[in-house]
Structure formats: C-alpha cells, structure tokens
Structure 1
C-alpha cells in the first residue's frame, strides 16, 4: 500500500470497470488498488475503504464475505434498491469522478468523527455524540461533566484524587470544590448501579477514583 496521506482504497469490480477507473487514476484524490478475485479474502482486510461494483456481487460467497467485513464500503450500482448488500454509501452509474472524490472525503471525515465520539470502556460504550453510556440494549443519559469524568478516569490507569479531578474537569471554577467531585461521582455511580446493576464500574478507595 502507498505510503502517503491519501486514503488507500481497494476496488472490487469486473475487468471493464477496473480498466476504465485505472485510466482515471491521476484524477483521483485517493490511492486506488485492484484485486484479483482469488486474492480478495487475503487483501480486503488490509484496507479501510472498499469500492465495490455491483457485478461482482452476483457471487454469493463473495457477497457474504463482503457483508461481514467492517471496512467502509462504497457501492457502484445502476440499481435503485440493493438490499442484499450492506454498504455505507452508494454511487450511481455512470460515475462522476468529482462525485467519487467528494464521497471518499466525506466518508473519511465521518469515520474520524465517529471513532472520536465513541469510547469502549470495559463492557460499555461511551457515546459522546449521543451523550449516553450504553451496554447491549440498555443505556443512560449523561451530562457533559459526567462524560468528562468518565473520559478522565478511563485515560488514567492509576487512582485519581478528588483534587486532580476537580482541576481537570472544573478548571478551578470558583463555585467548585472537592465536594462537587464527590456529589457528581455519587450521582453517576447511582445511575450506573440503578440501570446496569454494576457496583464496580467506578471504584472508590482511599487512594481515589478509578475505572
């Protein structure tokens, strides 16, 4: 794969489409590679984004393989409805290069945003965008301070004293003291215990607080 700042995309298509796209490579805003059918299983996991032409999805084995891959998938298709394939974005044929370039950039930004907005903590997902802490199908709504608290505790492997938490989250606010920290963590722990029955999510000892 190319070593630069461009996105690396792997294309799955028939020979005609691959040849046409290959001729336009210099106009693309990303690095494009092609793969032979027999090497698909080996190569597809190495790329964050896949460009997939509808013709190859007639192969059921290949369709199942691609449906189970977590990479971002852009489908190139004439069909208005393509329910059998789990894609992230769809572009119509005939394809416009500027539209393809734009879509790739949009997906990159979207993926970066989503990765930054979700954090896995133990068996939970902290979704900063939705302001929730969730586990399986259950979730609780969080305040902005609670999100900051969880992020801080998650990033620190050691126990954190109340004073450290106060300085990091409240930024020396004149109306905040260590009692403020105690109150917020108590309320947050109660939310978690009430919803998830988890008494050990936030650990509290003489040394401080820890996740």
Structure 2
C-alpha cells in the first residue's frame, strides 16, 4: 500500500461500485474519496479528477464540473456519455490499468494547468509558446515568455538593466539598446496580431504590463 499520495480523486458512483472501489483502493497510488452530490463548495479537498458512472455523470456538483472525468461504463453502448469524459473503462476493471491511466490523466491535467496563464484578456500557453486572445494566436520565443511572466509577477516596473541581465542573460556591459530592440519587436508582433498598443508599457521606471 502507498502512503504518500500526490493525487486526490473524487468518486461519485452508485453504492455497489463505491463499495467495490473501497475494497481495491489499497492497490491505487492516488487517494480516493467517495463523495455525494451534496458536497459543499468549501470542501477541504482539492481534487484532481472525478470518477463517475452512467447515472452520475450528469449529476456532478457544480464546484467539481471542471475536473477531468473518469467514466465507468456499465452499458457498452454509452457513446454520448463517453464523449463527456476524458477516459472511460468497461467492467470488469483491470485494476492496474485503471490506476495507471488515472494518475497519468491527473499529471497531464496538472501540467496543462501550470502551463496556461491568464494575462489581461490574453491566455499564455507556455508549453505551446503561444499568446492567444479570442481566435487569434501569436507564436513567441521562450525568452519572450519569461519576460512576459516576469512582468506579470512583478509588483513594480522592471528596469532595462534587470531585463538585460536576468531575463535575456546578457552581460552587464551590454548596451541597453539591445534589450530595447528585443522588446520593440515583441510589442510590434502583439500590435500586428492583436491591434494592442499597450500590452507592454514603457514608463519612467521601466517596463510593465
């Protein structure tokens, strides 16, 4: 049995299947908690996914609806319900495959969550190296991503010297116009694709969003 869990999975199934999962949960490398439809929004658990069946997939509590879903198919012809879940399993379960795929699903979901950042009206996908707004997208470099993220996380404007040495990793003796050129190109790309003149602001003390 594994004692150190990094993945929390909610289970919202019928009583018989809940009982079955309780009996085999010692084989899981994730922590499973059986819940009911009345679970409160202030639950202490931060779930990474939810296990449902054909009867409960449309009865998920509002605060858990955005979680990745694992569907237990009791009826082999449930095509519509299958489309509502990220992965599905037929009975009887292969316990080890069940465990492995749930853990992998949660890891992928967490990776995606950490790689996507909201900035103003934009979405920055660090993994795909893309800045999005509505239907428009802009491919950007890794250094540009680091620059934008650092600006977002900074409470005060960033000086040219800081950007030069800490983000673009130039030596302290490099002329600041080098970094000005990089930032100008990024601002022009944003302006060209999104028509945004003020995504990156250049004020007296440095650059900010």
* Inter-partner Cα distance in structure 2 for 1:205 and 1:56: 54
- Counting only pairs closer than 5 Å after superposition, residues 49-60 of structure 1 correspond to structure 2 as 49-57=49-57
Which 5+ residue runs of structure 1 have no aligned equivalent?
A: none
Q: Alignment partner of 1:139: what SS?
A: strand
Could you tell me which residue of structure 1 aligns to residue 79 of structure 2? 82
- Counting only pairs closer than 5 Å after superposition, residues 11-160 of structure 1 correspond to structure 2 as 11-37=11-37, 39=38, 47-57=47-57, 62=59, 69-77=65-73, 78-79=75-76, 82-84=79-81, 85-160=83-158
Could you tell me which residue of structure 1 aligns to residue 178 of structure 2? 180
8 Å Cα contact 2:200/2:208 also seen in 1: yes
The alpha-carbon distance between structure 1 residues 159 and 106, as it changes in their structure 2 partners (threshold 3 A), is: same
8 Å Cα contact 2:5/2:29 also seen in 1: no
CA apart distance, 1:46: 5.4
* Inter-partner Cα distance in structure 2 for 1:175 and 1:73: 54
8 Å Cα contact 1:170/1:176 also seen in 2: no
Higher helix share: 1
Runs of 4+ in 1 over 3 A off after TM superposition: 3-6, 40-43, 173-177
CA apart distance, 1:145: 2.2
CA displacement, residues 25-68 of structure 1 (integer Å, 9 cap, x when unaligned): 2222222222335x25766x9533100122434xx6x27x67x8
Give the total of aligned pairs.
Answer: 204
TM-score by length of 1: 0.83
Which 5+ residue runs of structure 2 have no aligned equivalent?
A: none
* Inter-partner Cα distance in structure 1 for 2:165 and 2:157: 15
* Inter-partner Cα distance in structure 2 for 1:153 and 1:191: 17
CA apart distance, 1:75: 1.0
TM-score by length of 2: 0.84
* Inter-partner Cα distance in structure 2 for 1:108 and 1:202: 34
CA apart distance, 1:79: 2.8
* Inter-partner Cα distance in structure 1 for 2:55 and 2:66: 21
CA apart distance, 1:173: 5.2
When structure 1 is superposed on structure 2, of 182-191 and 82-91 the one drifting more is 82-91
Q: Alignment partner of 1:76: what SS?
A: strand
8 Å Cα contact 1:160/1:207 also seen in 2: yes
